[in-house]
Structure formats: C-alpha cells, structure tokens
Amino acid sequence: MTTEELGALDTVKQYLSGYSNGNVEECMSVIATAKPILLFGTNVDEVLKSADEVRATLQRDKESMANINFGDFRSLHVDASPTLAVAVLEIPISYEADGLKNNTLMRIAFSLIKEDDRWKISSGMVSVPFDAGTYSFSES
C-alpha cells in the first residue's frame, strides 16, 4: 500500500477503535468538518448529514450496545490520491444488545478527504448483509 492508502486505512481503524471502545469523541475526531458529510448507518433512519447527527447516533449506539469487538478484515480495498481516498471493507463484529450476544458481518465503505494533512471521513455507509440467496427484503 502507498503512504496515502496506509494513512486512510489508519483513519478507518481509528474510527473502528473508537466505536468498539464507546469513545464517541475518538470517532468524531476523524469525521470531516470542512465539507458537507453524508453517512448511512445500518438503521433505516440513519441518514446523517451533520456532525451533531453523527455524534447523536454514536452516543445512541454506545448506550444500546456493549462489548463491541471487531474481527480481522475479511476483504479490504483502499485507493487514494493526495486528497481523496476510498476504503471498502468487510469485517465481523460481535456485541451485546438487549441482553443478547450478536455476531454478524458488516460491510463498510468510506470516502475520505484531506483536512489539515489528516484523512477524515466525509461520506460512507455501513450495511449488514442478508443470508445468501435472499432476494426479498421487507421494507420498514
């Protein structure tokens, strides 16, 4: 990987570390502030267009989930130019919510921009894939 790609990946890893540790401010430290943002979460209502919306969603997750652990990347693609990068990854996650232990797979795609010589997440989405062979999705 190039230096730029490694830097973008480090930002993604910092975000995931903050998320798993329930450290909202660590996550927020890698969210872009110089340009508009757009992030899609796993819930239908998670269409985040401001830092306040991101912070509130992260706080809600922190209060709803415990013992969050990410596994090793299963798939990873990082591409970067001097000012724009993309990271697409697949990673297992385990956590506790509503008294139940959950294990699933997350797919994440982030675009990142340079702000003050640091990579920051400016847009992205997180999904949890359905079982193989699923072609009917219920609408919420």
Q: Is the separation of the CB atoms in 84 and 112 below 8 Å?
A: yes
Q: What percent of the chain has pLDDT over 90?
A: 89
The 10s digit of each residue's pLDDT in 125-138 is 999 988 777 777 67
Which pLDDT belongs to residue 139?
A: 61
Contact 87, 109 (CB under 8 A): yes
User: In terms of pTM, does the model score above 0.85?
Assistant: yes
Amino acid in the structure at residue 40? F
pLDDT tens-digit readout, 92-110 = 999 999 999 999 999 999 9
Q: Which domains, from first to last, does the chain contain?
A: 3-127 (3.10.450.50)
* pLDDT value at residue 140: 54
Rg of the chain over CA atoms, in angstroms? 15
For residue 123, CA distances in Å to 5, 17, 27, 137 come to 17, 18, 14, 25
Q: In the predicted model, what is the mean pLDDT of residues 33-62? A: 95
pLDDT of residue 31: 98
Mean pLDDT of 77-98: 97
What pLDDT shows up at residue 127?
A: 94
Residue 9 in contact with residue 3, Cβ under 8 Å? no
For residue 15, give both structure tokens.
């975000």
Distance (Å, rounded) from C-alpha 123 to C-alpha 19?
Answer: 17
Q: Which of 108, 109, 112 is nearest to 32 (CA)?
A: 112
